[in-house]
């Protein structure tokens, strides 16, 4: 393994508290999600599920977040773990670096290296590989051609350093030998996507004789690599395979460098090539990202809308633009993000166009950009003409895009617009769109878990039961008016709880009182169960005014209600016995036993 420092897996509570006190949850989340002030709190579109109306809430006073749509919630650590796919330790380390909180570290022993998480190992290996590639580009004779090629591309040295470009030499195992000398197991290098096993023994380098582009996540961790040839060899581009740290469906090249300008400009340009992206930045268009050999996915768009309100898709041909528009129309609309197509003149990509015509001419083209639906309709008419056969083809081409639009009002407007454009009756288009929508319904869905459900470890959807409202209000009161906790303990209120999740939370509160119950964020950090964290965040995000009188009144009502419920159940058992309905008696007795078990 490369020489790295090790952070104790058992970070002290005092150190975690210091990080929580130094960090600002609004600052951390707003750097990834567009938030707006709403009273004491901040709201925005949830990054964890599709929505058009903001239901994602961040509380700066309690230092927690909660989404009322999908139920996800927790602390600043939980957000980073979910959004960045981090371990708890990595979230702690990230925040400590960002807010200047020193953590004790030392060189790892061999035993500790083995205990290091797989993700941490892969990230460390990627950093080591990037050092190798950079060394080969700038300081080795092997990199001469690569240096000459980059110079011909007119890429500025500042950008080369910012994006960490390197060079993979032409030999079969240069990196493999380097990693072996660095005592990195080849099995882990293979898992990182850097080497490929030979049919016999040994390994060879995945990237050879290519300019190397490190792919970073939004925390500047290198999670993968892309390689581009310098001649006409195929494939032109080669990317890392999917690994435990790299997922091309949720990663965009250059987002780590673009996000601040995306936020300022409220827009983002999406291009297709590495050098296209570098040229966009070189000409001052820093709010630019690139896809990584894949179409824009729902996860990509969900990421982008955390930084910008509008996306400009930049294409170098009408055909590429039409295909991309067809694929992404419904997704952009579902995610509530505006998008337009920027079509460059024939024979140009962003790199060649900018160097030949400059940024001003580029923005002139951008001003003529059409929305996704508008662009598709125009392209379809241009290709097919308005002959009878042409109109049939236009309707067939547009129906799949219209069928992706889940908003019925928007879909009706688009259908009406196309009908007027090509001079046909709306019902003709509507019938074709209805056929397409029916075909979509018949296909198995691969979408993320809808609101009110949770994905289990094996990928199954599990419905999450709504908490008992009365019991939930008692728990919320325990957090927000801790002076009532002694009364709750004396009256044995929790013994009457029927929701085991809420009862467990209540017992935990009483168990830690008075130490940390006044810090909701610290309390949530102690909960290991994700569903409990979500539940507590949902109960605490709402700010209610409590006083002793209203608290005691709520407890009195709760105990009376539970008493009546118990008496009603006993009366029903007696009535069933009197009528001789043994099946009902057994059913009611089981219900009574379940109540008693929950209380215990």
pLDDT at 227: 95
- Is residue 271 one of the residues assigned to a domain? yes
For residue range 504-533, what is the model confidence (pLDDT) as tens digits?
888 888 887 665 555 778 788 777 778 888
Question: Same domain for 477 and 595?
Answer: yes
d(CA 525, CA 72): 14
Residues 135 and 211 in one domain: yes
Please tell me the predicted confidence (pLDDT) of residue 595.
55
Sheet with 41-44, edge to edge strand ranges: 36-38, 41-44, 56-59, 64-67, 73-75
Verify that 184 and 264 share a domain, yes or no.
no
The least confident of 424-428, 468-472, 484-488 is 468-472
pLDDT at 457: 41
Contacts of 549 (CB under 8 A, 6+ apart): none
Are both 490 and 430 inside the same structural domain?
no
State how far the Cα of 43 lies from the Cα of 34, in Å rounded to an integer: 8
208 and 135 within one domain: yes
CB of 69 closer than 8 Å to CB of 56: yes
Higher pLDDT, 442 or 27: 27
Cβ burial of 182 (10 Å; 0-12, 13-18, 19+) is middle
In the beta sheet, which residues pair with residue 65? 58, 74
Q: Does 592 or 213 have the greater pLDDT score? A: 213
Domain ranges, residue 176: 117-239
Highest mean pLDDT (candidates 89-103, 115-129, 248-262, 548-562): 248-262
Q: How confident is the model at residue 585 (pLDDT cuts 50, 70, 90)?
A: low
User: Last residue of a domain, which of 402, 423, 441?
Assistant: 441
Average pLDDT over residues 91-119: 73
Q: Is residue 513 part of a domain?
A: yes
Same domain (yes/no): 104, 122: no
In a domain, 458, yes or no: no
Q: What is the pLDDT of residue 560?
A: 77
Q: Note whether residue 453 is domain-resident.
A: no
CATH number at residue 234: 3.90.980.10
Residue 2 has pLDDT above 60, yes or no: no
Same-domain status, 365 and 476: no
Asked whether residue 209 carries a pLDDT value surpassing 60, the answer given is yes
Buried b (16+ CB within 10 A) or exposed e, 19-46: bbeebebbebbbebbbbeeeeebbbbbb
Q: Which of 81, 108, 135 is the last residue of a domain?
A: 108
Out of 108, 130, 153, a domain closes at 108
Query: Which of 147-151, 389-393, 433-437, 496-500 bottoms out in mean pLDDT, i.e. has the lowest?
Result: 496-500
Residues comprising the chain, all counted: 600
Tell me, yes or no, whether 494 and 586 share the same domain.
Answer: yes
Q: What is the mean pLDDT of residues 92-114?
A: 73
Q: What pLDDT does residue 395 have?
A: 93
pLDDT of residue 223: 95
* pLDDT at residue 519, rounded to an integer: 74
**Confidence (pLDDT) at 6:** 40
On whether residue 455 sits in a domain, the answer given is: no
**Structural contact between residues 496 and 559, judged by C-beta atoms closer than 8 angstroms:** yes
pLDDT-derived band at 310, boundaries 50, 70, 90: very high
Handedness of CA 552, 555, 559, 565 (dihedral sign): positive
Q: Is residue 155 part of a domain?
A: yes
The verdict on 488 and 562 lying in the same domain is: yes
Give 110 or 36, the one with higher predicted confidence: 36
Per-residue tokens: 525: 């950090």
Distance CA 404, CA 400 (A): 7
Which CATH number belongs to the domain containing residue 38 in this structure?
3.90.580.10
pLDDT reported for residue 559: 80
Output 1 or 374, whichever has higher pLDDT. 374
CA distance 132 to 180: 12
Residue 165 pLDDT > 90? yes
Query: What's the average model confidence in pLDDT over 117-122?
Result: 85
Mean pLDDT of the chain: 84
pLDDT-based confidence at 400, cuts 50/70/90?
A: confident
Residues 478 and 559 in one domain: yes
Does 427 share its domain with 478? no
Q: What is the dihedral of CA 202, 182, 150, 224, to 10 degrees?
A: 70
How many domains does the structure of the chain reveal? Answer: 5
Same domain, 417 and 539: no
> Is there a domain that residue 450 lies in?
no
C-alpha–C-alpha distance, residues 426 and 417, integer Å: 9
**Cβ pair 75, 64 in contact under 8 A:** yes
- Per-residue model confidence as pLDDT tens digits over 356-371: 999 999 999 999 999 9
Left if phi > 0, otherwise alpha if psi is -120 to 50, otherwise beta: which for 100? left
pTM of the model: 0.75
Closest CA relative to residue 253, chosen from 227, 284, 226: 226
Quick check: is 579 in a domain?
yes
């Amino acid at each position: 393994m490369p020489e790295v420092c090790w952070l104790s897996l058992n970070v002290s509570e005092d150190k975690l508290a210091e990080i929580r006190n130094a960090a600002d949850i609004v600052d951390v989340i707003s750097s990834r999600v567009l938030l707006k002030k709403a009273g004491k709190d901040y709201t925005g579109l949830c990054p964890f599920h599709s929505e058009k109306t903001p239901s994602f809430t961040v509380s700066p006073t309690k230092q927690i977040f909660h989404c009322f749509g999908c139920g996800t919630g927790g602390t600043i650590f939980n957000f980073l773990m979910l959004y960045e796919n981090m371990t708890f330790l990595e979230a702690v380390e990230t925040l400590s670096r960002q807010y200047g909180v020193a953590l004790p570290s030392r060189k790892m022993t061999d035993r500790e290296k083995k205990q290091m998480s797989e993700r941490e190992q892969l990230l460390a290996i990627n950093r080591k590989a990037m050092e190798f590639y950079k060394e080969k580009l700038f300081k080795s004779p092997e990199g001469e051609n690569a240096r000459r090629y980059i110079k011909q591309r007119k890429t500025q040295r500042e950008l080369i350093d910012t994006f960490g470009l390197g060079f993979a030499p032409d030999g079969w195992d240069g990196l493999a030998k380097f990693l072996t000398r660095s005592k990195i197991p080849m099995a882990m290098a293979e898992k990182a996507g850097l080497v490929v096993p030979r049919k016999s023994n040994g390994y060879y380098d995945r990237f050879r004789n290519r300019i190397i582009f490190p792919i970073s996540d939004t925390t500047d961790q290198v999670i993968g690599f892309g390689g581009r040839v310098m001649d006409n060899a195929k494939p032109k581009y080669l990317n890392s395979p999917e690994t435990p740290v790299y997922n091309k469906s949720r990663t965009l090249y250059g987002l780590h460098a673009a996000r601040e300008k995306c936020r300022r400009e409220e827009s983002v340009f999406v291009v297709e090539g590495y050098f296209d992206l570098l040229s966009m930045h070189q000409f001052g268009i820093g709010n630019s990202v690139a896809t990584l050999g894949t179409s824009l996915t729902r996860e990509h768009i969900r990421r982008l809308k955390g930084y910008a309100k509008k996306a400009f898709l930049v294409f170098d041909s009408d055909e590429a633009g039409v295909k991309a528009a067809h694929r992404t129309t419904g997704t952009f609309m579902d995610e509530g993000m505006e998008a337009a197509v920027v079509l460059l003149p024939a024979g140009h990509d962003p790199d060649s166009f900018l160097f030949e015509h400059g940024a001003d001419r580029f923005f002139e083209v951008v001003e003529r950009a059409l929305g996704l639906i508008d662009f598709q309709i125009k392209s379809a008419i241009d290709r097919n003409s308005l002959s009878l056969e042409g109109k049939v083809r236009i309707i067939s081409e547009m129906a799949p895009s219209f069928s992706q639009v889940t908003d019925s009002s928007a879909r009706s407007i688009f259908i009406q617009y196309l009908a007027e454009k090509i001079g046909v009756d709306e019902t003709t288009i509507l019938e074709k769109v209805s056929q397409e929508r029916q075909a979509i319904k018949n296909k198995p869905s691969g979408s993320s878990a809808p609101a009110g459900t949770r994905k289990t470890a094996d990928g199954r959807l599990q419905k999450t039961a709504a908490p008992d409202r009365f019991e939930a209000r008692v728990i919320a009161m325990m957090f927000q008016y801790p002076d009532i906790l002694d009364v709750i303990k004396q009256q044995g209120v929790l013994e009457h709880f029927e929701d085991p999740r809420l009862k467990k939370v209540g017992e935990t509160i009483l168990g830690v009182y008075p130490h940390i119950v006044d810090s909701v964020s610290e309390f949530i950090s102690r909960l290991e169960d994700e569903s409990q964290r979500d539940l507590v965040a949902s109960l605490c995000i709402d700010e209610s005014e409590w006083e002793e009188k209203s608290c005691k009144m709520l407890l009195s009502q709760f105990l009376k209600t539970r008493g009546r419920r118990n008496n009603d159940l006993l009366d029903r058992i007696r009535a069933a016995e009197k009528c001789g309905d043994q099946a009902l008696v057994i059913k009611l007795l089981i219900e009574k036993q379940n109540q008693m078990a929950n209380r215990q």
